[in-house]
């Protein structure tokens, strides 16, 4: 058998190191911040975001092949769903489709006014729009969400500090060089 025997302690240490690395990687994957470092700069320079700043033409994207009456009913149901109000929208100029979570929605006699707060390309934004109830088309604008951006930035900084502390502890534990 000609090979040198590997100590059981070395094998156990190797398995433990792999297990710790996998655990840290799993924790980082599920808890990584969703925003980028300088959100305002990204908002001002990202070409995809700049396209949607608007005003942009939008259309209701739900039940595209259903009769118009059924589509109108689905539009209203999307807006008034108490558990999870969402609005499928198409930006007709760009072919961008998404299902937006609604922060607020007001259904009037002729139009629906809505607001959706979400993270797009690592930037906190607010989509505000108006849809005609009959035509199911309208317009929207995309704005930088300063309030949510500040909250998410604080969360990002805390998460990055925790990751740095974990990495430092692992390096110390296994006598790895500090960078």
Note down the domain range covering 130: 39-146
If asked whether residues 123 and 158 sit together in one domain, one would say no
Whether 101 and 164 map to the same domain: the answer is no
Judge if 23 and 46 occupy the same domain.
Answer: no
Same domain, 109 and 82: yes
C-alpha 43, offset from chain centre = 14
pLDDT in tens, the chain (179 residues): 555 667 777 767 767 776 666 666 555 545 666 888 899 999 999 999 999 997 999 999 988 899 999 999 999 998 888 788 899 999 999 889 999 999 999 999 999 999 999 999 999 999 999 999 999 999 999 999 999 988 888 888 888 888 888 888 888 888 888 76
Instruction: Give me the CATH number covering residue 120.
Output: 2.40.250.10
Alpha-carbon distances, residue 158 vs 6, 88, 117, 154, 165 (angstroms): 41, 33, 22, 6, 11
Residue 1 lies in a domain: no
Prediction pTM value: 0.72
Q: In sequence order, what are the residues at sequence separation of 6 or more whose Cβ sits closer than 8 angstroms to the Cβ of residue 156?
A: 33, 35, 37
- Same domain for 14 and 100? no
Instruction: Name the domain count of the chain.
Output: 2
Domain contains 178: no
CB-based contacts of 32, cutoff 8 Å, min separation 6: 159
Angle at 115 between CA 109 and CA 120, to 5 degrees: 145
């Amino acid at each position: 058998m000609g090979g040198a025997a590997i100590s059981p302690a070395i094998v156990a240490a190797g398995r433990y190191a792999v297990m710790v690395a996998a655990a840290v990687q799993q924790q980082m994957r599920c808890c990584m911040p969703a925003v980028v470092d300088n959100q305002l700069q990204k908002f001002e320079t990202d070409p995809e975001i700049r396209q949607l700043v608007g005003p942009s033409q939008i259309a209701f994207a739900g039940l595209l092949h259903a009769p118009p009456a059924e589509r109108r009913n689905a539009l209203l149901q999307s807006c008034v769903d108490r558990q999870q109000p969402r609005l499928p929208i198409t930006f007709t100029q760009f072919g961008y489709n998404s299902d937006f979570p609604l922060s607020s929605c007001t259904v009037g006699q002729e139009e629906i006014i809505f607001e959706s707060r979400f993270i797009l390309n690592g930037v906190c934004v607010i989509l505000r729009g108006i849809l005609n109830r009959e035509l199911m088309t309208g317009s929207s604008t995309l704005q930088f969400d300063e309030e949510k951006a500040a909250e998410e930035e604080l969360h990002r900084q805390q998460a990055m500090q925790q990751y740095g502390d974990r990495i430092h502890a692992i390096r110390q534990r296994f006598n790895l060089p500090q960078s």
